[in-house]
Structure 1
Amino acid sequence: MRDHATQTATTGLAEMGTRRFGRVNWLGLMTLAERENRRFLAVWTQTLLAPLITAGLFMVIFSIAIGPRRGDVMGVDFTTFIAPGILMMTVIQNAFANTSSSIVISKVQGNIVDTLMPPLSGGELVLGYLAGGVGRGVFVALAISAGLFAVLGIVPAHPVWALIFVLLGATFMSGVGIVAGIFANKFDQMAAITNFVVTPLAFLSGTFYSVEALPPGLYSITHFNPVFYLIDGVRFGVIGVSDSAPMLGLAVGAGSTLAVSLLAWWMLARGYRLKA
C-alpha cells in the first residue's frame, strides 16, 4: 500500500514536472488568459469606453483646429489620414497598459506569488499575459473602427493588412508592458515609463503627420522606431497609402515583437525583480 502511494506521488510529481517544463499547461495558460481578459472587461467603461471617447476627441480637435487649413496629406484629406494613426496609437497604449498594470498591481499588493506558484513556464506566463493585452487592443480597435469609420465613411483598402498590423502592434506593446511591469516596483516608476517612453513613441511615430515632412535628422531617427512601422502599416491597410513598404513594416514589427517577447520570457522564467 505504502509503495503504491509512494509510486503514485512520484508519478504525480513527474507528471507535474513534465507539464511544467515539457508539454504545454493548457489549463493554466487558458486560466491566466481568461483572468487577464476578465480584468479589463470588468471595468469596460474605463478600458474600452474611455479610449473610444479619447480617440473621438482627438479626431474632433485636430479636424477643427488643423483640418481645414492642412489640406491633403499623401493624396487624402487630413482627417482621413490621421484616423488610422489615432486608431493604432490607442491600441498600443491600451495593450501596454493592460499587461503593465496587471503585473505592477500584483507586485504592489503582494499577490504576484499567486501567478508564479502554479506550474506555468516562462513561455506560458508570457502567452497568458499577451492574451489579455491583445484582447484589450482588439476590442479597442473594433470599437474605434466602428465609431470613426462609420462617421468618416472609410472602407478599409486592405483589411487583412490592417488586422495583421493591429494584432502585431497589440502583441508588441503587450510584451513591452510585461517588461515594464516587471522592471517597475511601484506606480511612480510605471508612470515614468509611460510618460517618457510609451507616449513619445506613440505620438512621434507619424500618428498625426507624414514622416516625409520631417527634417533629415528626425526622419532617420523615426525609421529606427518600430511603432512607426506599426502605425504606417495600419494606415496602409485602412486608406491604402504609407510612408514605407508594408513588408518592411511587417518584418520590423515581427522582429521587434519576437525580441521583446524573448526578453519578457527570460525575466519571467528567472523571476527577475519578482521573487524576493
Structure 2
Amino acid sequence: MMSQPHSLFDAPAQPAPQRREFGAVNWMGLWTLYKKEVRRFMKIIPQTLLAPMISNLLYMIVFVLAFSERRAGAGAEDFVVFLAPGLIMLGILNNAAANSSSSIMTGKLMGSINDVLMPPLASFEIALGYIGGACTRGVMVALSTGIGLAVMIPLLNLSPNLPLVPQHFWAILYFGISASLMMAMVGVISGLWAEKFDQLSVVNNFIIMPMSFLSGTFYHIDILPPVFKAISLANPMFYMIDGFRYGFTGQADGNVMIGVALMAVMNLILFLICLRILKSGWRLKA
C-alpha cells in the first residue's frame, strides 16, 4: 500500500532560533566595524594620508623660510625643532576629527548607517569602532608627517640640529594618542549632530581650526599679551600641543601634568557624551 504524503502539519518541527551570546563585548562586531573604518580611509591614501603630510611639509617650508630669523618666542631651541611637533599634532587633530565625522555623516545621508545600527552592537561598541578607526588615521598621519619632516629637514638644510629626537617618549605617546581619541570623539559628536556636510564645515572652520591654530602651534604663548595668554591656557588644544612638543624638546610653555589630567578628564566626558547620544538614537533613528 502506498504511503500517504505527509501534510504540512506533519512536518517535523524546526528548532526555534536561539539568541547568539556574545558575552560582555561583541568582539567580532566591534572588530568588523573598526576594520570597515580603517579600510574606508586606506582606500584613498592620497587624500587621507599623503595630503595632510604634504600640507604640513609646506607649512614647515613657508614658516621656516619666512620667519626663522624673526621667530615668535623666547627660548634657545631651534625654530624647526619647535615647529615640527606642532605640525605633527595639527595633522592628528584635523584628521582624527574628520574621519569619524565624515564617516557618520556619509552613512546618515546614504542610509548605510542602518548597517551599523541593525547588528547586535551595543552603544559603546559602535562608539569604540568609530573612535578606534579615527584614532588610527590620526596616528598614521602623525607617523607619515614625522617621517616626511625627518627626511625633508636635512635634505633642505632647514635646521643645523637633529629634529624630532624624542626626549620623553611617554609624553609623545600619551598626548599623541589622547589627542587622537579626543578629536575622534569630537568628530563622532559632530557627525551625529550634523544633518548635512555644511554643518560639519561650520564645526571645522569655526571651532576646530581656530582652536588648533591659536594654541601655540607656531609660536610660544609667552609672547602674547596677558589676556590672550590666559585665553590660550584655557584652550585644551594648547595642552595637547604643548605636551606633545615637550616629548621632543623637553621644554613646555605650560604645566605638563595639568595637561595629562585635563586630557584624561575630557576624554572621559566626551566618551560618556558619545554613549549617551548613540544610546538615545538622536538624529540616527526616524
Q: How many Å separate the matches in 2 of 1:189 and 1:180?
A: 8
The match for 2:43 is 42
The match for 1:240 is 250
1:109 matches 2:90: no
Q: How many Å separate the matches in 2 of 1:224 and 1:245?
A: 12
- Residue 133 of structure 2 aligns to which amino acid in structure 1? G
Retained in 1: the 8 A contact 2:85–2:248? Answer: yes
Q: How many Å separate the matches in 1 of 2:74 and 2:222?
A: 10
Post-superposition offset of 1:71: 7.2
Retained in 2: the 8 A contact 1:74–1:241? Answer: no
Retained in 1: the 8 A contact 2:185–2:271? Answer: yes
Post-superposition offset of 1:275: 0.8
Post-superposition offset of 1:221: 1.8
Q: How many Å separate the matches in 2 of 1:252 and 1:262?
A: 16
Deviations 1:39-84 (A, max 9, x none): 1111000000000100000000100111122276422122221111
Worse-matched range after superposition: 242-251 or 126-135: 242-251
1:230 matches 2:231: no
The match for 1:82 is 83
Retained in 2: the 8 A contact 1:72–1:78? Answer: no
Change in Cα spacing, 1:173 to 1:102, as seen in structure 2 (3 Å) is same
Gaps of 5+ in 2: 1-11, 154-158
The match for 1:29 is 30
Aligned pairs for 1:19-168 within 5 A: 19=22, 23-70=24-71, 73-150=74-151, 151=153, 153-154=162-163, 155-168=165-178
Post-superposition offset of 1:266: 0.8
Retained in 1: the 8 A contact 2:53–2:141? Answer: yes
Greater helix percent: which structure? 1
The match for 2:213 is 203
The match for 1:177 is 187
* TM, length-normalised to structure 1: 0.92
Deviations 1:256-275 (A, max 9, x none): 11111111111111111111
Q: How many Å separate the matches in 2 of 1:43 and 1:52?
A: 14
Deviations 1:129-164 (A, max 9, x none): 011111101111111111213425321111221121
Q: How many Å separate the matches in 2 of 1:203 and 1:71?
A: 14
1:256 pairs, out of 250, 257, 266, with 266
Instruction: Tell me the C-alpha RMSD between the 2 structures.
Output: 1.5
- Residue 53 of structure 2 aligns to which amino acid in structure 1? L
Change in Cα spacing, 1:248 to 1:230, as seen in structure 2 (3 Å) is same
Q: How many Å separate the matches in 2 of 1:226 and 1:102?
A: 25
Larger Cα-atom Rg: 2
Post-superposition offset of 1:243: 1.1
Change in Cα spacing, 1:241 to 1:149, as seen in structure 2 (3 Å) is farther
Q: How many Å separate the matches in 2 of 1:270 and 1:71?
A: 47
- Residue 258 of structure 1 aligns to which amino acid in structure 2? L
The match for 2:6 is none
Worse-matched range after superposition: 208-217 or 179-188: 208-217
Q: How many Å separate the matches in 1 of 2:261 and 2:170?
A: 16
Retained in 1: the 8 A contact 2:73–2:220? Answer: no
Q: How many Å separate the matches in 1 of 2:265 and 2:34?
A: 24
Deviations 1:229-264 (A, max 9, x none): 100010000111111222211111111111111111
**Percentage of pairs with the same residue:** 42
Q: How many Å separate the matches in 2 of 1:106 and 1:74?
A: 48
Change in Cα spacing, 1:149 to 1:246, as seen in structure 2 (3 Å) is farther
SS in 2 for 1:76: coil
- Residue 5 of structure 1 aligns to which amino acid in structure 2? P
SS in 1 for 2:112: coil
The match for 2:223 is 213
SS in 2 for 1:5: coil
The structure 1 segments of at least 4 consecutive aligned residues displaced by more than 6 Å after TM superposition are none
